[in-house]
A and B are shown apart, each in its own frame.
Chain A
Amino acid sequence: MPREAEPSLNEKQFVLQALKDNLRQDGRDLDAYRPLDLTFGDEYGHADVKLGKTRVLAKASAEVTVPYTDRPLDGIFTIAAELSPMTSPSFEVGRPTEIEVLLSRLLEKTVRRSGALDTESLCLVAGQKCWSVRVDVHVLSHDGNLIDAACFAVVAALRHFRKPDTSMEAGVLTVYTPAEREPVPLGWLHSPFCVTFSFFGDEGEISVLDATWLEEQVRVGSCTISLNRHGEICQIAKLGGTPVEAVALIQCTQLALTAVRSFTEYLDQKLTEDAKRRDKGGLLAELSAENDR
């Protein structure tokens, strides 16, 4: 498979010099995101996220299965992020690259390990039946900052997703089809988002938010901070690269918090819009068989 072409020396110099003068190729501020766009599909749990030219599709699905023997009271929750040759011909099917491993690892840490989804609520019959919730992340085009876009897509898809309603009567488990009962949302506890900073310069003194692919190829290091709108940090990943001053990192977390607050606001607004669109006759509340938690 052909390798991705690296930027030329001139291009690299140009990007770096511009960043030193506080300028970016697309005219953004150093701490500004590209326009974020989220579209929900016709079915539940389908989120299409566009961040500039980066486009990520997340699809949530659920099925009933047998829980793991060592965790009989928990449901199963998996995030599958596989990069296809659609992203770039240099990716091969079934041969994970470094980008792909890092992406799955960060999504896992941010969404799964932070306990965003209540896995205990996915249990149906202890040790016998549980829901297996799966999110597939499809990267359609990669123009930098894949991690933030993918994390946003995963959270949006999960919050939009509805699983079939179930009932237990005299030891018999019934899973209702959407025609019988309105599907119910997942037990969601908090919405963590990833914010990635890229560092430039000899000492990593210039920090830039939402780097494009060209900038990502030139950077000397990066740091991904995952947190929710309450400022609770789920993880910080600074994997190698040039060391960065501790004070600069603290400033980054402050910036990350404002970014996450705007993400949360945007997602909430989109979810309400979508709910309004689906609730045509205002009858959805009556159709629902869900109990208040």
Chain B
Amino acid sequence: MTVAAPEANLGILPKSDGSATFKYGGYTVTASVNGPIEAARRDEHPYKAHVDVIVRPAAGAGGTRERHLESLLESSLSQIILVKDFPRCLIQIVLQVESVPANDYVNTKLVQAGINLPIIPALVQTAVLALLSACVPMATTAAAAVIAVVPAGGSTKAVVDPSQRELETAVSSHAFVFTAHGQLLLAESQGDFTMAEWEDAHATANKICCEAAKKDGMEMILDDEKQAGPDLQAFLRSTLEAKVTEDLQWR
């Protein structure tokens, strides 16, 4: 199955410091970033900024699943935001899920228990775009991918950007977040898998998220080197370049 190319819009909300909408693989997420702002007394930290992530589902009230996603994102994003530059401040990131991919073969239930791995890349990607739009100083940017390990005739194979049906049949699924320098920022896995399968999934994800950064400066891409998914670092860069050109244009 081919997935449409990612789409992003920056600075769409007039009232917040920074905002972004990111649309990819059936997921649409809008994020707003406010910060650094005054922190509530209980969140105040004497020598670093508190990163507050709020994930709001499209339908239904947020529950344990959203709290879990929030804690994952909070710890990952605190690593790349230069939190020590803003003591006693708050950087607030609100992620509003607008739509999730529909599965025509199942009727969805509102309250779903369990972890929601496939949404992590969309949330991370949107958060990073919104942070960039809000000009929050960061050590590096991040790119994320989800890999499903599906059974294929006796053995298994890693599938990038799996569809809802592939996720159902997958023996395990993995979400990876990498920094622009290729360092692993977050790895979440679900299901049964061997170390070799994990290594394979990790390598595939690394290729999508970081290959462009390594290739920087090379003039040509060989044809046999087929990309498994969209080049996320390049996408991030081109989105921001487009935004900056638009903003700097006089009249």
A residues with a Cβ closer than 8 A to B are: 1-2, 41-43, 46, 48, 53, 55, 57, 59-61, 63, 80, 82, 84-89, 93, 134, 136, 138, 140-143, 164, 175, 177-179
Contacts and interface: CB of A to CB of B under 8 A. Distances in A.
B109 A63 contact: yes
Contacts of A2: 37-38
Contacts of A59: 58-59, 98
Interface of B: 13-16, 28, 30, 32, 34, 37-38, 40, 54, 56, 58-61, 92, 94, 96, 98-99, 102, 104-110
B245 to A, nearest CB: 24
B110 A63 contact: yes
A140 B107 contact: no
B16 A86 contact: yes
A61 B34 CA distance: 30
A2 B60 CA distance: 28
Contact of A61 (B13, B59, B96, B98): B59
A118 to B, nearest CB: 21
A134 B54 contact: no
B34 A89 contact: yes
A147 to B, nearest CB: 18
A43 B102 contact: yes
A55 B13 contact: yes
B14 A178 contact: no
A85 B54 contact: yes
Given A84-B96, A85-B34, A89-B92, A138 B15 contact: no
Given A41-B98, A84-B54, A134 B104 contact: no
10 contacts: A46-B98, A53-B14, A60-B59, A63-B107, A84-B94, A85-B54, A85-B92, A136-B59, A138-B58, A178-B104
Given A61-B110, A86-B30, 5 more contacts: A48-B98, A89-B37, A138-B56, A141-B15, A177-B105
A136 B94 contact: no
